[in-house]
Amino acid sequence: MPESPYLVIDPERVRANYRTLDAAVTVGTRIRYAVKAAPVAELITLLAAEGAEFDVASIGEIDQCLGLGVAPERLCYGNPIKKSAHIARAFALGVRRYAFDTEDDLDRIAEFAPGSEVECRFLSSAPQSRTPFGTKFGCAPAEALRLLVRARDLGLEVGGPYFHVGSQQLDPAAWRIGIEQAGEIVKALADKNIAVGAVNVGGGLPISYADAAPELDAIAAAISGAAAEFLPAATGLIVEPGRALVGNAGTVHAEVVGVRFAPDGRRWVYLDIGRYNGMAETENEYIAYRFVTDRDGDPVSEAVVAGPTCDGDDVLYQRTKVLLPTTLRAGDRIQILHTGAYTASYSSVSFNGFPPLTVHVSGAERE
């Protein structure tokens, strides 16, 4: 048995998730996997074979995909925050698609990746998601229109407008709102003789954790319905799932390090995995993972769940009601379900000396 903690990912579940999404979305929709969710070589290779494109956030992810045989034409450098040197290197490696949300980044793309296709990310009016971006990314829709016109004038190919409704978005109407705003940009561009091939509706497709999420069919229907209503018939769609493809394909295997009753009487359960070696998405308790133990069936009570480091912020849940068996003891095994996305990729290098989360792929093993 591998040393705890570790993550096990089932690639066949990822394949099934991809095919389910492909069947649910409008015919011709391009699926672009957000590599940052789980940059696991076996998954990238599998999704490439299924026909996916790839949303890459850095030169590191570009190098990884290219090293695995993914053609550069299938990559989009989707991070709006990037150095000029990294744009130039990506271009030299054959990447010809870029996202941006500022005039400065657009000018640098024009200089260092001339003739490339660009998508402008605007900040949609969608409701807040479970793990929101805030206003870190995206310009105003009117600014996106201006910048895409400028992109044409700079000799770049206009891909189209791009929005993201926020990670783990639980309201299907969010995509309708974004597509309606994107549609206004597309129509205004058409008036300036700029044709848009596709609108990028981003990621944010949710999965169920301790609380239920809308079914994929409901979200796909909202996207398809909005596209039919607000976009010209010739305008395609791009969707950038990460969590929806890999989230439910992973299970973290962990161990109870200790149990303590604090002076206020609350029970604390300490695990060998915490916010710095895989559980980063428990920040603000946005994501409520489900736990399975070998003592399930015993009486339960509320517990504060914390990680192993000596950092006071390394607490997973203290407001969220987590019920765990009262019989839990040090050394007991515990599984954390649906942890395939944003766990290993969020691990610190060696905070407090704890190593990053190890990944094992069903049918193969890798670090």
How high is the pLDDT of residue 348? 87
Distance, in Å, from the CA atom of 177 to the CA atom of 301, rounded to the nearest integer, reads 42
How high is the pLDDT of residue 332? 98
Sign of CA dihedral 258, 261, 264, 266: positive
Q: Name the residue with higher pLDDT: 365 or 108.
A: 108
How high is the pLDDT of residue 364? 60
- Looking at every residue in the chain, the average pLDDT score rounds to 96
* Residue 188 near residue 237 (C-beta atoms within 8 A): no
Closest CA to 247 of 325, 158, 336: 336
Tell me the three-class secondary structure of the chain, residue by residue.
CCCCCEEEECHHHHHHHHHHHHHHCCCCCEEEEEHHHCCCHHHHHHHHHHCCEEEECCHHHHHHHHHCCCCHHHEEECCCCCCHHHHHHHHHCCCCEEEECCHHHHHHHHHHCCCCEEEEEECCCCCCCCECCCCCCCECHHHHHHHHHHHHHCCCEEEEEECCCCECCCCCHHHHHHHHHHHHHHHHHHHCCCCCCEEECCCCCCCCCCCCCCCHHHHHHHHHHHHHHHCCCCCEEEECCCHHHHHHHEEEEEEEEEEEECCCCCEEEEECCCCCCCCHHHHHHCCCCCEEECCECECEEECEEECCCCCCCCEEECCCCCEEECCCCCCCEEEECCCCCCCHHHCCCCHHHCCCCEEEECCEECC
Query: What type of residue sits at position 259?
Result: V
Active-site residue numbers?
A: 310
How high is the pLDDT of residue 88? 98
How high is the pLDDT of residue 363? 75
* Residue 41 near residue 64 (C-beta atoms within 8 A): yes
* Residue 38 near residue 230 (C-beta atoms within 8 A): no
pLDDT in tens, 93-110: 999 999 999 999 999 999
Instruction: Provide the 10 A C-beta neighbour count for residue 264.
Output: 5
Paired residues of 324 in beta bridges: 301
Q: How confident is the model at residue 247 (pLDDT cuts 50, 70, 90)?
A: very high
How high is the pLDDT of residue 358? 95
Tokens read off for 80: 């709006």
How high is the pLDDT of residue 134? 87
Tokens read off for 340: 């395939």
Q: Name the residue with higher pLDDT: 302 or 135.
A: 302
* pLDDT tops 80 at residue 366: no
Q: How confident is the model at residue 63 (pLDDT cuts 50, 70, 90)?
A: very high
Q: How confident is the model at residue 133 (pLDDT cuts 50, 70, 90)?
A: confident
Question: Where are the CATH 3.20.20.10 domain residues in the chain?
Answer: 11-246
Question: Where are the CATH 2.40.37.10 domain residues in the chain?
Answer: 248-365
pLDDT in tens, 70-85: 999 999 999 999 999 9
Closest CA to 150 of 182, 107, 112: 107
Sign of CA dihedral 256, 262, 264, 265: positive
Pairing of strands 53-56, 315-317: unpaired
pLDDT in tens, 143-171: 999 999 999 999 999 999 999 999 999 99
Distance, in Å, from the CA atom of 147 to the CA atom of 326, rounded to the nearest integer, reads 59
Tokens read off for 119: 């998508």
Specify the CATH number of the domain 11-246: 3.20.20.10
pTM tops 0.85: yes
Q: How confident is the model at residue 365 (pLDDT cuts 50, 70, 90)?
A: very low
For the domain made up of 248-365, give the CATH fold.
Lyase, Ornithine Decarboxylase; Chain A, domain 1 (2.40.37)
Tokens read off for 148: 């895409």
Instruction: Provide the 10 A C-beta neighbour count for residue 329.
Output: 11
pLDDT in tens, 284-330: 999 999 999 999 999 999 999 999 999 999 999 999 999 999 999 99
